[in-house]
Amino acid sequence: MSTVTSDYSAKDITALEGLEPVRKRPGMYIGGVGSAGLHHLVWEIVDNSVDEAMNGHATEIKVTLHKDGRTVTVSDNGRGIPVDKHPKTKKPALEMVLTILHAGGKFDSNNYKTAGGLHGVGASVVNALSKELIATVRRDGVQYQMTFSKGAVTSPLKKLPGAIRGTGTTITFTPDPTIFPKTEFESEIIRNRLETASFLHRGLKVTYVDEPAGTQETFLHEQGIIDYLAKVVKARQTHPIHDTPFSLRKEDGQRIEISLLWSDSTDEHVRSYVNGIPTGDGGTHEHGFRSGLTKAVRNYIETHALTPRGVKINHEDIREGVVAIVSIFISDPQFQGQTKDRLNNADAQSHVESALRPLLEQWLNNNRSVGDQIVARIIAAARAREASRAASEAVSRKGGAKRTALPGKLSDCLASGREQSELFIVEGDSAGGSAKQGRDRNYQAILPLRGKVLNTENVPLKKLLENKEIEDLVTAIGCGIGPGFNLANLRYHRVILLADADSDGHHITTLLLTFFYRHLQPLIAAGHLYIALPPLFRIDIGKETYWAADEPDRERILKKHVGRAKPEITRFKGLGEMMPQVLWNTTLNPKTRRLMRVEIDDHLETDRVISDLMGRDASARFRFIMDRAEDAEEIDV
């Protein structure tokens, strides 16, 4: 033990005051400063307006994305945030709500029976992370206003001239560019979230104004989540196996709404919400839903003796193809983290299960033809699972595959351990040859694939495993697939998609991303999947050589060196024509390469995009292309 006296003393202890903690560590409050964190600012303010509507105080919400694309206004016709002075702090209540963490009206159940935000930090966090925030309140025929910057008051509460009608709150804010690398909002993300809110709160009128696009939409869904289920099924391009979905709406201390049906999809798709907040990571309410559904169907099957001899049905077979919306409203939700992605209330599981199980079982018994259709679909899933299990085991490398069991095309690395080892998945033998010669064989493995891989969207697991390229890919990675997937068997620390920098290469990368998202998603969640960014251009200016990732990068380099020697520009047709040393210097060498880790910020949006781009419905892709046709300056054919 060292005997040197430490200089660490009380003077080294920092106590952050006010909203300083938010600006110092924004990730603790909004999950990060990327796109998800940026849009989380909008959700916090919108959720406050939704809470007013949820408790019967508001009927309309209006959200405006302003022309700069960086400023958002959220307005409601609720009661309006109080503006009178607090008896203890002597500050206006509006100032407290926007400048003090854990200050709000939702700690008292007399004001809000159910709410999405109960920590009292949402509005103040948005204020802390905004370059400018303007709060306008309409109460008692008077309009009040305060302005803020980076969480500090810039103009005190004042009355605006003129009498006004109605009540409500309007918040306008612009994110702080010193906090967020990118402050431009994505209109489609906001639009989808607002439409979802109108589904979850029947009768709530939500208007979205997109000033940059010059559009305005109003969402109002009287059927609530029943309409939402129909939209989700259509967006996923799946086909229901029964016409009428099962729906329940129960208010017995806790409000529970569920709508579900079975489809021909090979996966289960559940979208869950608590007090209107999407819980992308599920939680106890989803556990209750799955348990209640499984028990109800099992009881129906056993009551009518519908299980064929020799077939064993498990919970995965019962839930395969289920598309469901689960929305609950509770008075004291306990979320995992401020971003509210997962519900932790233990009693929510039993409440949802006890509400769903008897009513779903009764519905199946009262609709025998539908019930028998569902059971037939479940039995088919059980048989398909058994048929694919052997194939899955054949390609699953349990406990680590032996070198002799690996694909013949795989050029494995010499390192025996997984740490720091990398698998590059490349297109074609030509690129594979250059990569094999240019790599560091001590820790870098190369797996060339032949041409464009199979589009795995809507492909059953059994058919998937019959594809040689997919089989080689799964075997090399080592985790298995489907029911046999085990992340502990991963053979490489990084799995890197390496395709050409042109449109063909982007297409191949998209096909591979579809496969990984649909069938090896835990690999992405654990942070093991990456995309390599090889250069598209080589630029020689005098004795200097520069590498450009794309056209804008090329123009940036040329502009920076204007007036020097005449540049010589080479456009690579593919990785195969790169010399091995060039490929190493630009793409394989950890010190000089560019890698992009694949992350899923929004599961719902990711699912929608993949369904649109890779699904059976070509009209979705046509709309995607037409909506963005003006953005295409040059088409690479």
Residue with tokens 């702090």: 89
Helix, strand, or coil (residue 596): strand
**What phi, psi does 39 have (nearest 5°)?**
-70, -20
The H-assigned helical ranges of 217-320 are 225-235, 284-303, 315-319
Dihedral sign for Cα 545, 546, 548, 553, please. Answer: negative
Per the CB < 8 A criterion, the answer to whether 455 and 509 are in contact is no
Per the CB < 8 A criterion, the answer to whether 457 and 611 are in contact is yes
Rg, Å, the chain Cα set: 28
Per the CB < 8 A criterion, the answer to whether 615 and 458 are in contact is yes
Whether residue 504 lies in the annotated active site: yes
Instruction: Count how many residues are written for the chain.
Output: 637
Order the strands of the 537-541 sheet from edge to edge. 544-548, 537-541, 568-571
Interatomic CA distance for residues 476 and 425, integer angstroms: 10
Question: What is the pairing mode between strands 60-65 and 205-210?
Answer: parallel
Helix, strand, or coil (residue 278): strand
Q: Could you write out the DSSP letters of every residue in 182-205?
A: -----HHHHHHHHHHHHHHSTT-E
Interatomic CA distance for residues 346 and 330, integer angstroms: 12
Catalytic residue among 353, 422, 427, 472: 427
Question: What is the pairing mode between strands 205-210 and 168-175?
Answer: unpaired
* Contacts for 194 with CB less than 8 Å, ≥ 6 apart: 46, 61, 63, 206, 208, 219
- DSSP 8-state symbol, 77: -
Whether residue 84 lies in the annotated active site: no
Residue with tokens 């556990």: 287
Catalytic residue among 504, 602, 612, 617: 504
Interatomic CA distance for residues 357 and 181, integer angstroms: 48
Catalytic residue among 281, 316, 502, 540: 502
Whether residue 419 lies in the annotated active site: no
Question: What is the pairing mode between strands 168-175 and 72-76?
Answer: antiparallel
| Amino acid letter, 459 | V
Cα–chain center distance at 388: 29
| Amino acid letter, 194 | L
Catalytic residue among 257, 500, 605, 607: 500
Whether residue 429 lies in the annotated active site: no
* Contacts for 316 with CB less than 8 Å, ≥ 6 apart: 381, 385, 483
Just list the catalytic residues. Answer: 427, 500, 502, 504
